Amino acid sequence: MKRFALFLCVAVALMGGCKGKPKVLSAEDKLKAENLVSEAQFSMQIREYSRAEELYHKAIAIRGDYPEYWVALGMARRHQDKKDDARDAYKKALGLLEDRYADKKNEEDLGQKAWVMALLGHPDDAVKFLDKCLKEHPDSAYLKKMDD
């Protein structure tokens, strides 16, 4: 139960747009993507999932390198029972998280990867991956919180 609660905490972090290695954007494009995501998040809250999906698509067209946007797109699709499409979005997010971790070595990306693995229907693999990460990063407060 504690691990599930922590996965939900990671979801909130993902929806907030954790920073990775963003591509260079104009201030106008960055603001446009952020506004689209904000509107999509509101659409999710009021359960207009098809509208949210459309808005996340637009944001990804501008900023496709953010795994957080792909996870959110997958959630919008999942709420519409578009399971295969949701899975595709989660897989894209997984690849982006792996790339970002390889570049930045931020342990939060490992935790987010474990969460996305669970979203893909592999919670046992996610827990094993998290345990492995804790062995490699025993001092990580973030990973310890996920393991509680």
> 2-58 pLDDT, tens per residue?
443 334 344 434 444 444 445 688 999 999 999 999 999 999 999 999 999 999 999
Amino acid at residue number 76: A
Higher-pLDDT residue of 147, 109: 109
DSSP 120: T
**CB neighbours of 22 closer than 8 A, spacing ≥ 6?**
63, 65, 66
User: What length is written for the chain?
Assistant: 148
> What pLDDT does residue 31 have?
96
